[in-house]
Structures are given as structure tokens and as C-alpha cells.
Amino acid sequence: MPVQKTQAIVIRAFSLREAHKIITFYTPNFGKVKAMAYGVKSPKSKLSGSLELLNHGMLLFNYRENRDLQNLTGFELIEGFDGIRTDFARITYGCYLAELIDAIASEGNANPEVFDLLRDTYQFLTDADDLALLARFFEIKFLDLTGYAPQLSQCANCGSVVTATSVNNTQSVLVVLFSVRHGGLLCGDCQHRDTSAFSIAPGSCELLKTLRKSELGKLSRIRASTRNHRELKLVLSSFIQYHTERNLKSLKFIESVLEV
Ligand SMILES: [Zn+2]
């Protein structure tokens, strides 16, 4: 049983009876790794306290392919993201990102760019101003890296160029139509194909494209209106729900507590 050493972030911790926990890590080279941490809740355990949710560290485990639970042998803390942990809104968003990774990523499926995205986003989450925009940035980048990104440049059904259409023949109110089922924008000729498609402002669509191309270091320069925030969240959360086939508990919590 070869011992593996890899960077890892704790994305889920599940307490069992006695002093054990099942910990789910996200790693660059093994994707999700689920491991049993025996006796970790005991104060005598050398792992006690280091396996908190969101902790970034160096994981040691005995790797066996096709095994549900790996055997954890060590975890050396690199960064505990204290700036996230001490702020209610930041820890809530931090838990949401971890839950999102847990919902979409799969075990044994390496995606080092997703790991970098999660680690870097947590670093920015410690002092970002617009937490909702940071979450939207993470979502669109994550969807891109996992192959689920929405089609925002052309019609998701026929591939033609999408132009904004007027609402009630008023040129001043222009919208584009977004279909979750078709995976992106729909042109005027194809809009009848999905009656549940919803309309968003062309500016919100442009902002989504900007976020997709942007970097974390440039995020503080991007401004989003209340309408942009509402529509970006609608597009991305509908899309994520469609692909994960579940309601993420922490997203519901954010909606009810932080984004009212
Ligand atoms: Zn079309």
C-alpha cells in the first residue's frame, strides 16, 4: 500500500460515534479523497484540531484504488484561513464553495486547476469586499474547469449570433434569453424551444463573460449592480442545481441570511 503525500483542503467532515471522523479532502492529483480519521476527536490525537473544515495542509494517506475510504496517516497544516473563520459571512461562503466542490467533483478524478482555484479563492475570501461577486467568480470558473460552463457567446441550440431583443417593443428595455436546459443563451429563432428560459439584461451576460476571463487579483475592480447580482446568481445557481441535481444547503442558507 503506497503512502501518498499531497496538498489537500478539508471540504467535508463527518463525525462518527466514538472519536472517529470521515474527512473528505480535495486534492490536486487525486480529486476528492475520502478518508477515515481514527480517534481524531480525542484531545490526545496528534491530528486533533488540524482537520477543521477549509483547512489547507499536506495530507498523507495509504492509497488504494477503487476503495471508498482511504486510510489517513497524517495531515500537516499549511493554512487555516483564520480571516474566513472569524467572520460569519465569510465562513458561510467558504462552506458553500466546499459543498459545491463536493457536489460536482468526483473521487480519483484529478483536476489541479480546480484545487488552485479553491485555495486561491479562500485566500481572497479572507478580505474580499464583494463576497457574492467572489462566489459568482468561483462558480463560473469552476463550471468552466469541470466542463459544464454555459454557452454565452452564441445560441446554445443553433450556434448563431445572439442579439438582445426588446421587451414589449420598447427598445430601451433589452434582454437576452438564458436556457438552463439547453446550456446557455438562446437566439430569437430558438427561444420557443424552452418555455422556461428566463431573460437577463445584456449587461449581466457581459459581466458573466468578464468574470469568466478575469483573475482573482482584478476582481476588486469589477462593479456589479443589484440587478447584475440577482441575475448572475439566478443563472449560475439554476445551472449548478441542474447539473448537481440537488439543492445545496449552504446556498439556501446564504439566500435566507446573507442576501436578503
Ligand atoms: Zn438559435
Residue type, 40: V
Please state the domain extents for the chain: 1-80, 83-260
164-218 tens-digit pLDDT: 888 766 666 788 999 999 999 999 999 999 999 999 999 999 999 999 999 999 9
C-alpha cell at 85: 473563520
CA 211 to CA 137: how far, in whole Å?
A: 6
Instruction: Find the 104 Cα to ligand 1 centroid distance in Å.
Output: 28
pTM: 0.91
Cβ pair 83, 128 in contact under 8 A: no
C-alpha cell at 152: 454565452
Residue % of the chain over a pLDDT of 90: 65
Instruction: Find the 189 Cα to ligand 1 centroid distance in Å.
Output: 5
CA 22 to CA 138: how far, in whole Å?
A: 26
C-alpha cell at 242: 441542474
236-250 tens-digit pLDDT: 999 888 887 766 777
Instruction: Find the 172 Cα to ligand 1 centroid distance in Å.
Output: 23
Average pLDDT over the chain, rounded to whole? 89
Instruction: Find the 139 Cα to ligand 1 centroid distance in Å.
Output: 25
Question: Stretch 11-34: mean pLDDT, rounded?
Answer: 91
Class of domain 1-80: mainly beta
Instruction: Find the 235 Cα to ligand 1 centroid distance in Å.
Output: 18
Taking ligand 1, which is a single-atom ion, which protein residues have CB atoms under 5 Å away? 155, 157-158, 187, 190
C-alpha cell at 32: 476528492
CA 38 to CA 233: how far, in whole Å?
A: 40
Per-residue pLDDT for 163 more than 90? no
Other Cβ atoms closer than 10 A to 2: 7
C-alpha cell at 57: 495542509
- Residue 191's Cβ-side half-sphere holds a number of Cα atoms within 13 Å equal to 14
Instruction: Find the 192 Cα to ligand 1 centroid distance in Å.
Output: 10
Give the pLDDT of residue 47.
81
Cβ pair 228, 202 in contact under 8 A: no
Per-residue pLDDT for 260 more than 50? no
Instruction: Find the 156 Cα to ligand 1 centroid distance in Å.
Output: 7
CA 178 to CA 186: how far, in whole Å?
A: 6
Element (H, E) at 198: strand 198-200
Give the pLDDT of residue 66.
79
Q: Can you tell me whether residue 154 is helix, strand or coil?
A: strand
50-75 tens-digit pLDDT: 899 999 999 999 888 878 899 898 99
Instruction: Find the 199 Cα to ligand 1 centroid distance in Å.
Output: 15
Instruction: Find the 193 Cα to ligand 1 centroid distance in Å.
Output: 9
CB-neighbour burial class of residue 120 (10 A; exposed 0-12, middle 13-18, buried 19+): middle
Give the pLDDT of residue 206.
95
* CATH number attached to the domain at 83-260: 1.20.1440.120
Strand partners, 97: none
From the list 219, 147, 155, the residue with the least C-alpha distance to 191 is 155
User: pLDDT tier at 77 (50, 70, 90 boundaries)?
Assistant: very high
Give the pLDDT of residue 169.
62
